Amino acid sequence: MIVEFKAWEKIPRTNPFTVTITEKINGTNACVIVKEGEVVGIQSRKRLITPESDNFGFAAWVLENEQDISKLGDGYHYGEWAGPGIQKNHHQLDKKRFFLFNTFRWNNDNPNRPSCCDVVPILFQGQIKANTIEQILIQLKHSAKEGEIPEGVVVYYHTFRSYTKHTIISPNGKWCKD
């Protein structure tokens, strides 16, 4: 019998991890699908949508801005559709806006970002410490407009290419009793 050696994978240390922490905008999940330079699909978190089966007017908005949005290039472009009439509009936006999640590709330095799209705000970028997320959540609460409570933050772990979310009102999830 021939036995092959298989080494145990290296386990990364808990610190220091590089993270990007963005604000979790309180709206509704949305996505634009672009293929060969054309918008070919629009979706909510759970389904494809059209202006006839819309998600707070997102599909209609995409079609109105199709030429600009096609600049996103081929792929699935996820974001948060937020503004008046969607959730609680904590930012008191005067109109509905699409906030792209990909801060690396669509940051403010990218001249190709469609003018009709925003990007979720980056609150922190660097090496995470034990209390970094808690500190960012406290800062976010203190910077909120009076009477408003922000939803929370999303943490992107560069090493693992994965996300976690941390909410202020329901830290264990809105369906769990805290």
Any idea what the CATH number is for the domain that residue 68 is in? 3.30.470.30
44 with 111, same domain: the answer is yes
Question: For the chain, what is the domain count?
Answer: 2
14 with 33, same domain: the answer is no
Write down the pTM of the prediction: 0.85
The pLDDT value given to residue 68? 96
131 with 48, same domain: the answer is no
One digit per residue, the tens of pLDDT, for the chain of length 178 reads 898 878 888 876 655 689 999 999 999 999 999 999 999 999 999 999 999 998 899 999 999 999 999 999 999 999 999 999 998 888 889 999 999 999 999 887 888 899 999 999 999 999 998 899 999 999 999 988 877 888 999 999 998 889 999 999 876 665 555 5
CA trace torsion 162, 170, 133, 18 (10° rounding) = 0
Cβ of 26: how many Cβ atoms within 10 Å? Answer: 20
33 with 111, same domain: the answer is yes
87 with 33, same domain: the answer is yes
Domain span at residue 166? 1-25+122-178
5 with 30, same domain: the answer is no
20 with 77, same domain: the answer is no
31 with 115, same domain: the answer is yes
The pLDDT value given to residue 175? 53
Cα 160 to Cα 91: distance, rounded to the nearest angstrom: 31
140 with 154, same domain: the answer is yes
5 with 73, same domain: the answer is no
Cα 28 to Cα 13: distance, rounded to the nearest angstrom: 35
Q: Are 86 and 56 in contact (CB under 8 A)?
A: yes
